[in-house]
């Protein structure tokens, strides 16, 4: 069944967001849009969604997008841990998971897949409030289990992103953190273009040359879209053995090199810690389970830097010369 899953089956969770009812068929219909009237109607709908998304997002003071060009480098870990760290500093925080194909934020913040989001009679949807007070909205809350595959074409994903931006009742928030899927493709473009006044991007990399070269694409993306960069984080930077020795498993100093080269802030280096993966897999909040771990301490330091950069308007648009 996969993408044909019907949300109506899940009455107890009281879910309703149009797309999730009929994703496969809807994808086809948008490809085969026939008459000019259909196209005009569709464009009107897009404009309406966009204007609602704009006014909804304007209620949130600081809007941060977490990005990398490469998969599996820890964007979702950074988004979830940073949301917890920023919330622990007295800010109200929401997290929007824009990764429809591998949503994971909800689990990293202790909420099981399929938990649901409450739909209101006016068509809006409430985010889930986690045990640490961070609000989340994610497709992972709406699908029944992790192995459900959503097979959506680009226009449907763009529309679903605009719906999430438009119809989730975040209420007034200090921060929203948006977790992107890997790459500089459709979803990244839609998010950055649909959110008014993005405070900046946070780039995540691991210390490998391959990851370095793809992060450059994310920097070029920010430059082209005139979006500021808050800084760059190196995840899985090193492993500290139980007797204290530090091992650089993938490489060393890659994010710092990039930061120097492009004149963007280096926000910090997060160590490899097997307990991170364990917590993520078990649906526990690492930041809460191990608040004194080296990684949690680093996340708090990074959160302080992010707050300083964002709240004092220090994020800058990278300039890339096209030679
Ligand atoms: N510092 C770390 N130490 C140990 N495990 C980590 C660390 N960072 C991330 N992981 C683990 O690596 C895996 C990938 O992390 P994560 O899902 O955050 O990456 P991602 O960039 O969001 O991936 P995707 O591109 O698929 O969205 C997860 O299992 C996570 O638990
Ligand atoms: Mg992810």
Query: What confidence score (pLDDT) does residue 313 get?
Result: 95
pLDDT at 306 over 90: yes
Report, as an integer, the average pLDDT of 11-35. Answer: 43
Query: What confidence score (pLDDT) does residue 179 get?
Result: 95
Please choose from 76, 95, 105, 283 the residue to mutate so as to test ligand 1's pocket, defined by most ligand atoms within 8 A of CB. Answer: 76
Backbone angles phi and psi of 224, in degrees to 5:
-65, -40
Cα of 239 from ligand 1 centre, angstroms: 15
Structure tokens at 313: 């308007």
Q: pLDDT category, 156, cuts 50, 70, 90?
A: confident
pLDDT at 30 over 50: no
108 lines ligand 1 (CB under 6 A): no
Residue whose pair of structure tokens reads 């120097």 in the numeric block: 260
275 lines ligand 1 (CB under 6 A): no
Nearest CA to ligand 1 atom 31: 277
Range from 154-158, 160-164, 222-226 carrying the lowest mean pLDDT: 154-158
Query: What confidence score (pLDDT) does residue 21 get?
Result: 40
pLDDT in tens, 189-236: 989 999 999 999 999 999 988 888 888 889 999 999 999 999 999 999
Higher pLDDT, 156 or 258: 258
List, in sequence order, every residue forming a beta bridge with 65; answer none if it has no partner: 178, 201
Query: What confidence score (pLDDT) does residue 11 get?
Result: 35
Q: Relative to the alpha carbon of 273, which ligand is closest?
A: 1
pLDDT in tens, 37-50: 788 888 888 888 88
**What's the CATH number of domain 2-311, 3.40.50.20, 3.40.50.300, 3.40.50.720, 3.40.50.2300?**
3.40.50.300
Backbone angles phi and psi of 61, in degrees to 5:
-70, -45
Cα of 123 from ligand 1 centre, angstroms: 34
273 lines ligand 1 (CB under 6 A): yes
pLDDT in tens, 71-126: 889 999 999 999 999 999 999 999 999 988 888 999 999 999 999 999 999 889 99
Q: Any residues with CB less than 8 A from the CB of 81 and at least 6 apart, and which? A: 108, 286, 287, 295, 296, 299
Based on its alpha-carbon atoms, the radius of gyration of the chain, rounded to whole angstroms, reads 19
pLDDT in tens, 224-244: 999 999 999 999 999 999 888
Calculate what percentage of the chain has a pLDDT beyond 70.
89
Ordered alpha helix ranges (H), the chain: 23-31, 36-57, 75-87, 105-108, 154-167, 186-194, 209-224, 254-262, 274-282, 286-289, 294-311
Nearest alpha-carbon partner for 126 in 117, 116, 114 = 117
Nearest CA to ligand 1 atom 9: 74
Cα of 309 from ligand 2 centre, angstroms: 24
Calculate what percentage of the chain has a pLDDT beyond 90.
60
Cα of 133 from ligand 1 centre, angstroms: 23
138 lines ligand 1 (CB under 6 A): no
Prediction pTM value:
0.88
| Residue 78 CA, closest ligand 1 atom number | 18
Q: How far apart are CA 153 and CA 138, in angstroms?
A: 18
Cα of 75 from ligand 1 centre, angstroms: 7
180 lines ligand 1 (CB under 6 A): no
Q: pLDDT category, 168, cuts 50, 70, 90?
A: very high
Please choose from 65, 68, 69, 72 the residue to mutate so as to test ligand 1's pocket, defined by most ligand atoms within 8 A of CB. Answer: 72
Q: Domain extents for the chain?
A: 2-311
pLDDT at 288 over 70: yes
| Residue 270 CA, closest ligand 1 atom number | 1
Q: Relative to the alpha carbon of 71, which ligand is closest?
A: 1
219 lines ligand 1 (CB under 6 A): no
Q: pLDDT category, 187, cuts 50, 70, 90?
A: confident
Query: What confidence score (pLDDT) does residue 38 get?
Result: 81
pLDDT at 176 over 80: yes
Report, as an integer, the average pLDDT of 317-321. Answer: 83
């Amino acid at each position: 069944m996969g993408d044909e899953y019907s949300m109506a089956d899940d009455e107890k969770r009281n879910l309703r967001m149009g797309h999730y009812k009929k994703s496969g068929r809807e994808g086809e219909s948008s490809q085969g849009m026939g008459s000019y009237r259909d196209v005009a109607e569709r464009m009107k709908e897009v404009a309406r969604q966009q204007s609602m998304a704009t006014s909804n997002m304007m209620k949130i003071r600081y809007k941060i997008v977490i990005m990398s060009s490469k998969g599996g480098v820890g964007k979702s870990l950074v988004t979830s841990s940073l949301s917890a760290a920023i919330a622990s500093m007295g800010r109200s925080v929401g997290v929007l998971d824009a990764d429809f194909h591998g949503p994971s934020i909800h689990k990293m913040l202790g909420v099981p897949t399929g938990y649901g989001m409450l739909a209101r009679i006016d068509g809006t949807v409430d985010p889930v409030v986690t045990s640490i007070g961070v609000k989340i909205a994610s497709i992972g809350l709406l699908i029944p289990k992790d192995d459900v595959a959503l097979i959506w074409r680009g226009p449907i994903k763009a529309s679903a992103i605009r719906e999430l931006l438009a119809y989730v009742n975040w209420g007034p928030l200090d921060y929203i953190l948006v977790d992107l899927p890997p790459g500089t493709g459709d979803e990244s473009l839609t998010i950055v273009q649909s959110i008014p006044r993005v405070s900046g991007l946070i780039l995540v990399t691991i210390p490998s040359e391959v990851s370095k070269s793809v992060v450059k694409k994310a920097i070029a993306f920010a430059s082209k879209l005139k979006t500021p960069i808050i800084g760059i984080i190196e995840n899985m930077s090193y492993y500290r053995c139980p007797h204290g020795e530090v091992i650089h498993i993938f490489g060393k100093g890659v994010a710092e090199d990039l930061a120097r080269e492009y004149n963007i802030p280096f926000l910090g280096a997060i160590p490899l810690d097997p307990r991170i993966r364990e917590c993520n897999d078990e649906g526990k909040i690492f930041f809460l389970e191990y608040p004194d771990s080296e990684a949690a301490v680093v996340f708090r330091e990074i959160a302080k830097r992010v707050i300083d950069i964002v709240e004092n308007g220090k994020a800058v648009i990278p300039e890339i010369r096209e030679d």
